Structure formats: structure tokens, C-alpha cells
Amino acid sequence: MNTRILKRIAVTAVALTLPGFASAFTIADDFGPFPNATFGGTGIPNDQVAASKQIVDGDVTITIALAATQRYGNPTVTWDDEGRYTAGSGSSIEGPNNTEGALWNFSFYIGLQDVRTWGSTSQLNISDGFFSIHEAWGEVDISKQFKIKLGRQELVYDNHRIFGNVNWAQQGRSHDLVLLKFEKNKFKWHTGLAYNQDKEQLSTNFYSVENNYKTMQFIWLHSEFENTRGSILFLNNGIQNPDTTMSFSQTMGTYLNFDLGNLKMNVGGYYQMGKDNLKKKISAGYINIELSWPLSFGLTPSIGLEYLSGTDQSNALTNNSFSPFFGTNHKFNGHMDYFYVGNHMNNVGLTNPYFRLVYKLEKWVLNGAIHYFSSAGNILDPSDPTNTLKNYLGTEADLYVSRKILSNLSISAGYSHMFATISMEAIKGGDSSTTNNWAWLMLAFTPDFMKKNNK
């Protein structure tokens, strides 16, 4: 027998700063003064509150309450005796500390993801393992500058090289952690703390989940100046070894942006040390420099070099391979994902000079890039391990076009071709003499449910 238990709760929809008129309606048991409600903010009236009561276990009463009010110079909010709030026409006016709209001391977010290929689930399917919670976090303002954010959340910093949300794969990247944030003017200090368990355990803390850390801590400092922006990152990553011990590695470095008139320059550099999962000593480095020149007619040429150190195949004692850990790696080394997209870790590294052209014209975006790939470490000849192969791995050409059809609908297409060498074949397998290309087509529908249509 199937049993369904339905409980009524108050549902909130607030629109205070949209042009025209907007209203929010709540299902409530009572409507009127609620002197005990502060709503976690300051200066929020509690004389017109919609409240819904729920009885739990017969003795405990839970009351969910909602109030809507304008803040600063926003249009006045009115209500009726049925709990309907209405905001008149107008626009947001900046409040204290450059804050627009209502000022609350908390926020929360839930993001769901469904990762599947069309046809992978049969019709009349009851359940599957493709649906999951990507994000579920709450954030509380301790003061105007200090916040605490807890739960499953994305981490995106700087150019996504070390921390990114992975914007190409069907599934995104998120972390279970506590994030402490201090932000004042143009200075930011973020500290993340994570400690993972694969299940509730009373007698051990052994972590058996693959492809994840047991513990992780980081500090990210960021500041902005007139023509310069800079960040400093320190990351401590702890992984569980099969013998119940832990291996810790440390990543430290900086990422800088410079506005040099019409020329833009980005520079990044990191160093890694510690121990890997085989308890080998890590000594690895990363360097990236990119110059771009946005032109007035929509064309932006860019030239850059990215270097990720690697381990010589003849070296069995130390690990000199730089790991970009939690980055959006599809963004960097070609669209065919030969490097660092679920692969190429603890390998011969990569040296990648590249040239890119981006042209934007009204609703069109055209993008083309050339990547030259070579290994940072030596590659042994599979047929004669006493000899080494050339470091040159191959060249990749990427083409991409996108057009915005409607405000919430766009279409994109791309083509990539890899010209690989026998050195690429030696580290990746396959046959370098065969044609290696890839084409794709994507339709993106991105509705904005909070935007009001005034037609």
C-alpha cells in the first residue's frame, strides 16, 4: 500500500522592483500582526504578516510566516486582507553599501541536476540514478563584512584553473564544506573547510569514496586596484590511502590581471608540494600568461602560453606533475579534452602555446583557436625504452559559432581537429595516423523566471 502525507507550507514569491505591477500570494491560516517575527533583518515591518501553522508530534507547533516590504527607494508594497502583496511600478534605488532591494541577513539555494543521455531511461521508468542535488546551501550574514556559507556548493575562483564548476560536462562540480567569507570594499578573504565521510561511522573515519578528497582547506585572498586585480591562493588537499594513512599536498600561488590601456594581460603561477597517493614527493609548477587586445569593431585576438610541469617517464622516485585539481579544465587545452579532463594526471605534463580569435557581432559570436601541444617531461619510446621520443604531441584547431535566437534561446556549433604525433600515441594509445576530429551542435534554453514581460 502506498501512503502519501501532504503538509501545507507557506510558499513565497516576492517581486518588489520590477516595472509594472507584480504580486505574490501565500496560502496562510492567519494574516495580521506578528510581533515575534524579525525575519532575520533590520527595519522589516511585522504588522502585516501571513502565517501558516503546522502541528508536529501533537505537542510541537511550527509557524511559517511571510512578510513583504519595500526597502530604500523601491516602490511601496501594499496588501489586502487575504494575504496578497502587490508592488507598484518603479525601479530599485541604491541603498547603503551599494546594496539594492531588501537587505536580509541570510540566503539559501537549492540546485538540481539531471545527468542522462536521451533514451538511456525506458518509458514508464519508476526511478533511476541520474537525478541528484548539485547544490544545497545556506548563507548567514554575521555582520556587513562577514558571512558563513554551509552545505553543498560550487567553488569558482579567478580563471577557473584551480577551482571551477565545470561548465561543459552534463554534471557540475560542487563541494560539501563550510565557507567563511570576509569582504570589505575591494578586498575579499575566503576560507573553505571540508571533511568528508562516506557514511555515518562510530569506530573509524576511513574514507572509501573514489575521486574525492578526505579533507580540504583553502584560503583565497583577492584585491582590486585601479588597473590591477590580484589573488593569492593556498590549498591543502588530503586524500585517503588504501592503508588508512593520509597523503597531503599543498598548492600555493597567485593570479593577476592587468589593464594596460587597450591591452589586457593575465598572469598565473602556482607551486605544488607534499605527497601523492603513492606517497611520492611532489614538486610541481604551473605558469600561464595571456595577452589580449579587444578592438573597437568586435574582434579580440589573444595569444598565450600555459605550462604544467610533468614527470619524466624514466623517473620513478618523485612526482613532478602539476595537478589542476578542481578546475574547469575543458576551458584551457582545446575542446577535444585530451588533457586534464578526467585524464593526464600524474603524467608528462604539458606545454601549450595558443592563439585565439573571438569576434562578436550583434547576436553572433565566432571563435577560433590553435593549440600547440608538447610534453613537459620526457617520453620513452615504447619499442625501445632506452630512447626518448620528441616532446611535440600535436596541434589542435577549434572552431566555434553561436547565435542568440531569442532572449532565452541560443544555438551553438563547433568543429575540432587534432593532428597528433607518435609521441601522443605513446602516452594516449590509439593510432596517430588516423583522422581525429569532432563536431557538435548545442541548443541552449535559459529561461529567466523572475523577469517580468511588460507586453
For residue 146, pLDDT beyond 50: yes
Question: What number is the average pLDDT over the span 313-342?
Answer: 94
For residue 372, pLDDT beyond 70: yes
Question: What number is the average pLDDT over the span 89-95?
Answer: 50
- Where does 160-445 sit in CATH, by number? 2.40.160.100
Average pLDDT, the chain: 85
Q: For residue 41, what pLDDT is reported?
A: 64
pLDDT digits (tens, 9 = 90+) for 373-384: 999 999 999 999
Q: For residue 116, what pLDDT is reported?
A: 86
| 427 vs 417: CA distance, rounded Å | 19
- Could you say which DSSP state residue 149 is in? E
> Is residue 438 within a helix (H) or strand (E), and if so which, with residue range?
strand 437-445
Share of residues in the chain with pLDDT > 90 (%) = 63
| Burial per residue of 24-58, b for 16 or more beta-carbon CB atoms within 10 angstroms, e otherwise | bebebeebeebeebebeeeebeeebbbbbeeeeee
Is-contact 64 54, C-beta < 8 A? yes
- Could you say which DSSP state residue 41 is in? B
Question: What number is the average pLDDT over the span 16-23?
Answer: 38
Chain-centre distance of CA 47, in angstroms? 40
Q: Which residues of the chain does CATH 2.40.160.100 include?
A: 160-445
Q: Exposure of 186 by Cβ count < 10 A (0-12 exposed, 13-18 middle, 19+ buried)? A: exposed
**Confidence class for position 4, pLDDT limits 50, 70, 90:** very low
Q: For residue 87, what pLDDT is reported?
A: 61
Question: What number is the average pLDDT over the span 181-189?
Answer: 96
For residue 29, pLDDT beyond 90: no
Q: When comparing pLDDT for 262 and 86, which is higher?
A: 262
| 113 vs 122: CA distance, rounded Å | 19
For residue 80, pLDDT beyond 80: no
φ and ψ of 163, to 5 deg: -125, 120
For residue 297, pLDDT beyond 70: yes
Is-contact 55 63, C-beta < 8 A? no
Q: Exposure of 446 by Cβ count < 10 A (0-12 exposed, 13-18 middle, 19+ buried)? A: exposed
| 354 vs 289: CA distance, rounded Å | 11
pLDDT digits (tens, 9 = 90+) for 332-354: 999 999 999 989 999 999 999 99
Whether the predicted model's global pTM rises above the 0.95 cut = no
> Is residue 250 within a helix (H) or strand (E), and if so which, with residue range?
strand 246-260
Q: For residue 13, what pLDDT is reported?
A: 32
Q: For residue 12, what pLDDT is reported?
A: 32
| 252 vs 132: CA distance, rounded Å | 33
Q: When comparing pLDDT for 89 and 217, which is higher?
A: 217
Q: When comparing pLDDT for 101 and 252, which is higher?
A: 252
Question: Among the ranges 50-64, 116-130, 412-426, which has the highest mean pLDDT value?
Answer: 412-426
| 273 vs 281: CA distance, rounded Å | 7
Q: For residue 9, what pLDDT is reported?
A: 29
pLDDT digits (tens, 9 = 90+) for 234-256: 999 999 999 999 999 999 999 99
CB atoms within 10 A of CB 124: 5
**Confidence class for position 74, pLDDT limits 50, 70, 90:** low
Angle (CA) 79 83 87, round 5°: 35
**Confidence class for position 390, pLDDT limits 50, 70, 90:** very high
**Confidence class for position 294, pLDDT limits 50, 70, 90:** very high
For residue 72, pLDDT beyond 70: no
Question: What number is the average pLDDT over the span 188-204?
Answer: 92
For residue 411, pLDDT beyond 90: yes
| 31 vs 210: CA distance, rounded Å | 52
Q: For residue 164, what pLDDT is reported?
A: 95
Q: Which of 72-76, 107-111, 274-278 has the lowest mean pLDDT?
A: 72-76
For residue 14, pLDDT beyond 60: no
Q: For residue 75, what pLDDT is reported?
A: 56
Q: Is 434 left (phi over 0), alpha (psi -120 to 50) or beta?
A: beta
Q: For residue 422, what pLDDT is reported?
A: 96
For residue 214, pLDDT beyond 50: yes
For residue 38, pLDDT beyond 50: yes
Q: For residue 451, what pLDDT is reported?
A: 57
Q: For residue 177, what pLDDT is reported?
A: 96
The secondary structure of 347-365 as a DSSP string is SS-EEEEEEEEEEEETTEE
Question: What number is the average pLDDT over the span 267-274?
Answer: 98
**Confidence class for position 395, pLDDT limits 50, 70, 90:** very high
Q: For residue 290, what pLDDT is reported?
A: 98
Q: Which of 6-15, 88-97, 335-344 has the lowest mean pLDDT?
A: 6-15
| 427 vs 153: CA distance, rounded Å | 35
Question: What number is the average pLDDT over the span 182-193?
Answer: 96
- Single out the residue of 389, 452, 399 nearest to residue 424, CA to CA: 389
CA torsion sign, 69 to 73 to 74 to 78?
Answer: positive
For residue 2, pLDDT beyond 50: no
